[in-house]
Amino acid sequence: MSAAMATLLRRSLRPLRAFRGHPRPAADVPLRATSHGAGLLYPEHIPTSLVQKALLAAGSAGMALYDPYRHDMVAVLGETTGYRTLKVLRDQMRRDPEGAQILQERPRISLATLDLGKLRSLPEDSFGREYLRFLDVNRVSPDTRAPTRFVDDEELAYVIQRYREVHDMVHTLLGMPTNILGEIVVKWFEAVQTGLPMCILSALFGPIQLSAQSLQVLVSELIPWAVQNGRRAPCVLNLYYERRWEQPLRALREELGITEPPRRIEGLA
């Protein structure tokens, strides 16, 4: 076979070779959104269509109710339903000086970025020391927050990531443990503060699994207290926590207008 013929043959065969993958026209791309390659706004991003987001929101809500230990489902629910609210939150952060700094510098809270030794050496009632105590007593780690995946805007992805990472700080500020009752109280506070649909849904549907006694305590004392504090306090996302480790917790609470919890709930739920 002559060289020229071979080249011709090769050139004509190249498109055939591509057909082994049976490509569909580019118009199908929204239908077949791939989760890799170009189009990613941030490393962990998975682009999703509206249909997928709706299905994810419904599925994750159902699964979170069915299996409360699926924290990743709560996270997914937040990401798929929170787009508009995140925009509002982000704009509000921009207007606040400390919040704007956070958006600029994008601090992250993880075991890599926290200096646990330094936190441990802080005085007893400082915010940093209390936060560390909260982590130890409840046996949680700041590294269990999964990265954002389904938010289609890079800055908003950071905002929701920050919201998740700050969640433990809110626990410390409110003095709530990580049992179901404590989480619900924190969710009520966050729902009032942020307006995120996921917080509102968790706050309304979380109590379904509670015992009658806990439910009674929740409704009569804890929810009113959480709502009151939520309304009074400025947005907790606007606090640059990393700069406030040495601040005494009491002073911080006063600054935010957060009062002591009405009762201890470690033993309940």
Partner 1 sequence: MAAPRSWALWSLCGRGWSPVLPGCRLPWLRSCWPSGPLGARPLSQEKRATETHFGFETVSEEEKGGKVYQVFESVARKYDVMNDMMSLGIHRVWKDLLLLKMHPFPGTQLLDVAGGTGDIAFRFLNYVQAQHQRKQKRQLRAQQNLSWEEIAKKYQNQEDSLGGSRVMVCDINKEMLKMGKQKACARGYKAGLAWVLGDAEELPFDDDKFDVYTIAFGIRNVTHIDRALQEAHRVLKPGGRFLCLEFSQVNNPLVSRLYDVYSFQVIPVLGEVIAGDWKSYQYLVESIRQFPPQEEFKEMIEDAGFQKVTYENLTSGIVAIHSGFKL
Task: Find out whether 143 is annotated in a ligand binding site.
Answer: no
Q: Does 160 bind partner 1 (CB under 8 A)?
A: no
- For residues 108 to 147, the per-residue mask of contacts with partner 1, x marking binding by CB under 8 A and - elsewhere, is ----------------------------------------
Q: Is 126 helix (H, G, I), strand (E, B) or coil?
A: strand
Residue among 11, 25, 26, 32 that touches partner 1 (CB under 8 A): 32
> Dihedral through CA 171, CA 190, CA 43, CA 97, nearest 10?
-90
Nearer to partner 1, 6 or 204 (CB): 6
Nearer to partner 1, 6 or 88 (CB): 6
Q: Does 37 bind partner 1 (CB under 8 A)?
A: yes
| Tokens 């954002």 -> residue | 148
Please count the other Cβ atoms lying within 10 Å of the Cβ belonging to residue 114: 19
Contact partners, residue 24, CB within 8 Å, separation at least 6: 32
Alpha carbon 94 to its chain centroid, in Å, reads 19
61-71 b/e with 16+ CB inside 10 Å = b? bebbbeeeeee
Q: How many of the chain's residues bind partner 1 (CB under 8 A)?
A: 37
Nearer to partner 1, 16 or 208 (CB): 16
Q: Does 76 bind partner 1 (CB under 8 A)?
A: yes
Q: How far is CA 266 from CA 20, 61, 175, 254, in A?
A: 61, 27, 10, 23
> Which residues contact partner 1 by CB under 8 A?
1-3, 6-7, 9-10, 13, 16-17, 19-22, 28, 31-37, 46, 49, 51-52, 55-56, 59-60, 62-63, 70, 72-73, 76, 149
Binding site, annotated residues: 167-168, 171, 183
